[in-house]
Amino acid sequence: MIAKDFLSIKDFTPLEIRFLLALARQIKANPSTYSEALKGKTLALIFEKPSLRTRVSFDVGIHQLGGFSLYLSPAEINLGKRESVYDVAKNLERMVQGIMIRTFAHRIVEDMAAYAAIPIINGLTDYSHPCQAMADYLTMWEIKGKVAGLKVAFIGDGNNVAHSLMFAGAQLGADVWVATPPGYEPKADAAEWARERGRETGGTCTVTHDPVQAASGADVIYTDVWASMGQEAEAEARRAVFLPYQVNAKLFGWAKRDAIFLHCLPAHRGDEVTNEVIDSPGSVVYQEAENRLHVQKAIMLELMKDAAVELPELARVAELARV
């Protein structure tokens, strides 16, 4: 087993990240091979934040692996208020075989993993969105044939999506650029970790305030909403600050001619991205969204499988992957 939990892409080796991507690709190509791999297993889905793609992809994914899901709404859990994280973890570990949690503070998923004897999967926190980044790089690999050496430009808010994009890029040897307005940069510790890991893999991490510099010669242009969940009160003020960072045809034109456009969705069309970009031939946002299903199936399978379930040997699959 790679690890007990999937909390952050930082927690793994480059080889392990490559293995999960290769496994996701195998599952996507041969879904019936894994249709009973988690037979009888139950995954609890804890949602402190609403979702479309996370809810559907985990729900459908566990069923396609032969297991079951149990949706738990904020009203039923209300972590830290109605019931402590410790008590939720100790109760659920006796009834289900894994927990996916989509919440606010990253500390909550860390505490859940520390308290629960079963696997914990981070479906999103304010600090990171690791399943999304795995889907992002699976999409790049499918379209570009590789990840190492790609210039990946994230333009917008230095948020949880930007953090995980930097982490995964560093693991896989990509050159990640993050362009934000002054004061909206990614966390300094996140950028520093990505630079340190990049020294081992050949990847780089560059933070700038110049969106044209980031987009110039890029293989991938990525953006996200300017105001994330919990920041709705700042939306109007943020719009004025971020408007020069809108991904429109002019900005996208600085990228390579065969560049692709990514967005974690939901998109606020006319704000962070224009219709002419998100609906263009270079946009692969729906392939990217579908890939959430496949990478999460790989993560669930690796974390929740019984010892009797055999998967391809890690090093062999990852080497063959040539991600």
Residue with tokens 């020069």: 244
Check if 132 is active-site.
yes
Chain centroid to CA 288: 10
The secondary structure of 210-223 as a DSSP string is: -HHHHHTT-SEEEE
Query: Is 53 considered catalytic here?
Result: no
- Catalytic hit among 26, 132, 246, 296: 132
Token pair 């990478």 in the structure block, residue:
295
Cα-Cα-Cα-Cα dihedral sign, residues 190, 263, 139, 131: positive
Q: Catalytic residue, from 18, 25, 102, 197: name it.
A: 102
Pairwise CA distance, residues 20 & 196, whole Å: 22
Nearest to 296 by CA among 74, 145, 164, 100: 100
What dihedral angle (degrees, nearest 10) is formed by the CA atoms of 235, 182, 176, 260?
Answer: 50
The one catalytic residue in 59, 97, 264, 296 is 264
Catalytic residue among 18, 25, 106, 292: 292
Q: Is residue 129 annotated as a catalytic residue, yes or no?
A: yes
- Strand pairing category for 120-124 and 151-155: unpaired
**Options 18, 25, 53, 129, the catalytic residue:** 129
Catalytic residue among 157, 224, 271, 294: 224
Q: Examine the residue annotation and report whether 292 is marked as an active-site residue of this protein.
A: yes
**What whole-number distance in Å separates Cα of residue 140 and Cα of residue 132?**
13
Non-local CB neighbours of 264 within 8 Å, separated by 6+ positions = 129, 132, 136, 161, 224, 288
Q: Which residues have a catalytic role annotated?
A: 102, 129, 132, 224, 264, 292
